[in-house]
């Protein structure tokens, strides 16, 4: 047996043979995963045992409209992001034209803008009292809306366009990464068989990138299902809006939970469809020799078309909205300061920062627990606990509030009986509850990034450290954390940025008189005070720009890790 085989044997025995089947780290991982999974289990249990079953009433009245509108919205946004995301990804990857290097990272920038922000911005300029219709009426002498036709922005079609403009980067990001990973060899073979550029794209490149594209479209549809600000502002009756309506207006938590479970079914169907699409057909690279994909120099009208195809999504999804935000913020900055903007920004930074730290800590615990022990049960409960990112925030809010309210009432009853005083609300309606909800919602980002990074570290390192007497905790602190700090920072940034944008969960769970930038934007927009909404909206966008740029640079440099020849 040589040295490497001995080290591998030590690492394997360390992992499965030299520790008890159940140790403290495994128990901690199971308990934390079970705690995080409580909101999901609560929603399911409440839906099947409501105090007042109004499901038949919902099914015969508003539910069909909620379902059809939600499906139409998801399909519309999915198709729009598919065309824009895949098209722009292929253009910037394979074509050479002016501005291509800028478009590579700039096309991801709309990801920093929440959909509800771009919705109120375009409404302000496209509605009847806006500057565009006003200029048309003055130019042509029109007086009332009956004198002319103009598309209604506050509609299902308007919501599809708004969400498409800010969600297409999900598809673009994954499609571009998939195209960059493809070898030149397979495309060269297609050319020798007489395939032109279009046939090579549809017959070779697109099938190879299909799994990544399907994942991107699935993420887009999940984000569409989670949206509350846009559909509320446009009065588009989706399932998310139905959860708020049944809970807040009809005061029926059980009915809201039943709609929430229906949304969970939508999510599970999306996840199942995505995995089925990956299993049904498999495409493999048949060579390990990677070269950069050749960029074809486009000329004439094709050059203009390539530039325009990339410029329009960026212009409409980021540049124009940011220009409107800056203009609005400059005119209302003093008003914003007077309305508690700094305190609101501090609340958002505090919530997002706490959520990022807590999600990172829980992610490290669960990912390292899987590395140490693994096993079907721990793996299953960890995956179930990480399902929160795929579940709409309004759904999770119900699952967090119900058990915390029960715990508060139980503590209050015990203290009343023993000491004759009331404890009131200790957990529900507090910052603690909101941070816990954020952790449940965004845990998948943390677990996924850390687990992937830990997976690149050989178990032989653990074995060597164990032979020197190091405990699992010490190995984590002294060995693994320094190695994976880059992935940890990435996970923390992603949770922080998503926390800054989170609206539906914050609207439901925030403490009394507690505002965040997201809720302030929503309130100002709902009151048609678009100028006052600009400063907090601009602050949300600013926090997301740097992570988006870093993400794009990471995708660009990923090609170097393939051992490609002549990588840029």
Per-residue pLDDT of the chain (568 residues; tens, 9 = 90+): 444 444 444 444 444 444 455 667 778 888 888 888 888 888 888 888 887 888 888 889 899 999 999 999 999 999 999 999 999 998 888 888 888 889 988 898 898 888 989 998 999 899 888 889 989 898 888 888 888 888 889 999 999 999 999 999 889 988 887 777 655 445 555 555 555 555 566 666 667 777 778 878 888 888 898 888 899 889 899 998 888 888 878 888 888 888 888 888 887 787 777 667 655 554 444 444 445 555 667 777 788 888 999 999 999 999 999 998 888 888 766 666 666 788 888 899 999 999 999 999 998 888 888 888 777 777 788 877 777 776 778 778 888 888 888 888 888 888 888 888 887 778 888 899 999 999 998 888 788 778 877 877 777 887 888 888 888 888 888 888 888 887 788 788 878 888 888 888 888 888 888 889 899 888 888 887 777 888 888 888 888 887 777 766 666 665 554 444 434 4
Which of these, 362, 336, 326, lies nearest to 545 by C-alpha position? 326
Q: Which pLDDT score is estimated for 6?
A: 45
The span from the CA of 392 to the CA of 487, in Å, is 25
Cβ-count burial 1-22 (b if 16+ within 10 Å, e if not)? eeeeeebbebbeebbeeebeee
In terms of DSSP bridges, do strands 95-96 and 296-297 run parallel, antiparallel, or are they unpaired?
parallel
Question: Would you say 259 and 247 are in contact if contact means Cβ atoms under 8 Å apart?
Answer: no
Two tokens, residue 392: 């709409």
The span from the CA of 173 to the CA of 213, in Å, is 9
Question: Would you say 378 and 369 are in contact if contact means Cβ atoms under 8 Å apart?
Answer: yes
**Domain assignment of residue 448, yes or no:** yes
The span from the CA of 530 to the CA of 121, in Å, is 7
Q: How many CB atoms lie within 10 A of CB 341?
A: 21
**Domain assignment of residue 77, yes or no:** yes
What would the DSSP string read from start to end of 375-394? -HHHHHHHHHHGGGGGS-HH
Q: Which pLDDT score is estimated for 551?
A: 67
Number of folded domains that form the chain? 1
**Domain assignment of residue 7, yes or no:** no
The span from the CA of 45 to the CA of 284, in Å, is 43
Q: Which pLDDT score is estimated for 435?
A: 93
Q: Which pLDDT score is estimated for 446?
A: 83
**Domain assignment of residue 16, yes or no:** no
**Domain assignment of residue 19, yes or no:** no
Among all chains, which residue has been given the structure tokens 């509605």?
127
CATH number, domain at 518? 1.10.3720.10
**Domain assignment of residue 20, yes or no:** no
Q: Which pLDDT score is estimated for 222?
A: 84
Q: Which 8-state DSSP code applies to residue 291?
A: B
The span from the CA of 184 to the CA of 175, in Å, is 16
**Domain assignment of residue 462, yes or no:** yes
**Domain assignment of residue 13, yes or no:** no
Direct distance between the N- and C-terminal alpha carbons of the chain, in angstroms, rounded to an integer: 42
Q: Which 8-state DSSP code applies to residue 529?
A: -
Domain membership of residue 378 as a residue range: 33-559
Two tokens, residue 193: 């068989």
Which of these, 316, 222, 228, lies nearest to 525 by C-alpha position? 228
The span from the CA of 179 to the CA of 293, in Å, is 8
The span from the CA of 226 to the CA of 74, in Å, is 10
Question: Would you say 481 and 465 are in contact if contact means Cβ atoms under 8 Å apart?
Answer: no
Cβ-count burial 380-401 (b if 16+ within 10 Å, e if not)? ebbeebbbbbbbbbbbbbbbbb
Which of these, 437, 481, 426, 433, lies nearest to 457 by C-alpha position? 481
Q: How many residues appear in the chain?
A: 568
Q: Which 8-state DSSP code applies to residue 96?
A: E
Which residues share a beta bridge with 96? 297
pTM of the model: 0.80
Question: Would you say 292 and 216 are in contact if contact means Cβ atoms under 8 Å apart?
Answer: no
Which of these, 450, 451, 452, 532, lies nearest to 491 by C-alpha position? 450
Which of these, 91, 81, 105, lies nearest to 304 by C-alpha position? 91
Q: Which pLDDT score is estimated for 191?
A: 56
Question: Would you say 7 and 460 are in contact if contact means Cβ atoms under 8 Å apart?
Answer: yes
Nearest 5°: the CA angle 398, 404, 406 is: 100
């Amino acid at each position: 047996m040589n040295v490497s085989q001995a080290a591998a044997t030590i690492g394997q025995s360390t992992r499965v043979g030299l520790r008890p089947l159940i140790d403290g780290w495994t128990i901690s991982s199971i308990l934390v995963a079970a705690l995080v999974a409580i909101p999901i289990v609560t929603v399911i249990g409440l839906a099947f045992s409501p105090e007042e079953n109004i499901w038949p009433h919902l099914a015969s009245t508003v539910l069909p409209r909620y379902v059809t509108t939600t499906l139409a919205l998801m399909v519309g946004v999915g198709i729009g992001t598919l065309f824009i995301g895949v098209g722009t990804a292929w253009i910037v990857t394979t074509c050479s034209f002016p501005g291509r290097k800028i478009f590579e990272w700039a096309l991801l920038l709309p990801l920093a803008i929440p959909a509800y922000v771009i919705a109120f911005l375009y409404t302000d300029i496209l509605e009847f009292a806006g500057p565009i219709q006003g200029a048309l009426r003055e130019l042509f002498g029109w007086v009332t809306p009956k004198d002319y036709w103009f598309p209604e922005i506050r509609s299902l079609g308007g919501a599809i366009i708004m969400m498409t403009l800010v969600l297409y980067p999900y598809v673009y990001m994954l499609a571009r990464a998939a195209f960059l990973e493809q070898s030149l060899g397979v495309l060269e073979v297609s050319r020798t068989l007489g395939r032109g550029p279009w046939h090579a794209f549809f017959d070779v490149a697109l099938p190879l990138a299909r799994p990544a594209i399907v994942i991107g479209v699935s993420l887009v549809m999940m984000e569409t299902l989670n949206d509350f600000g846009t559909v509320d502002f446009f009065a588009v009756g989706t399932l998310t809006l139905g959860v708020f309506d049944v809970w807040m207006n009809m005061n029926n938590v059980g009915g809201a939970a039943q709609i929430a479970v229906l949304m969970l079914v939508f999510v599970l169907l999306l996840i199942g469809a995505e995995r089925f699409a990956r299993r049904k057909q498999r495409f493999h690279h048949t060579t390990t020799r990677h070269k950069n994909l050749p960029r074809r120099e486009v000329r004439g009208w094709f050059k203009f078309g390539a530039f325009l195809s990339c410029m329009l999504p960026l212009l409409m999804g980021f540049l124009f909205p940011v220009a409107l935000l800056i203009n609005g913020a400059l005119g209302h900055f003093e008003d914003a300061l007077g309305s508690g903007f700094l305190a609101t920004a501090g609340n958002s930074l505090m919530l997002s920062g706490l959520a990022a730290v807590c999600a990172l800590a829980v992610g490290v615990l669960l990912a390292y627990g899987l590395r140490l022990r693994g096993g079907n049960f721990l793996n299953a409960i960890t995956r179930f606990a990480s399902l929160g990112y795929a579940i709409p925030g309004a759904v999770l809010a119900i699952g967090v509030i119900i058990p915390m309210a029960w715990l508060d009432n139980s503590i209050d009853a015990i203290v009343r009986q023993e000491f004759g005083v009331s404890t009131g609300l200790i957990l529900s309606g507090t910052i603690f509850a909101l941070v816990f909800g954020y952790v449940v919602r965004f845990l998948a980002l943390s677990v996924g990034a850390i687990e992937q990074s830990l997976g690149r570290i050989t178990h032989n390192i653990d074995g060597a450290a164990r032979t020197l007497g190091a405990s699992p905790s010490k190995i984590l602190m002294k060995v693994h954390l320094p190695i994976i700090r880059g992935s940890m920072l990435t996970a923390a940034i992603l949770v922080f940025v998503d926390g800054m944008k989170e609206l539906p969960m914050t609207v439901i769970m925030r403490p009394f008189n507690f505002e965040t930038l997201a809720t302030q934007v929503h309130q100002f927009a709902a009151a048609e005070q678009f100028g006052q909404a600009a400063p907090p909206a601009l602050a949300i966008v600013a926090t997301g720009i740097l992570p988006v740029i870093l993400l794009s640079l990471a995708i660009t440099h990923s090609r170097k890790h393939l051992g490609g020849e002549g990588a840029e």
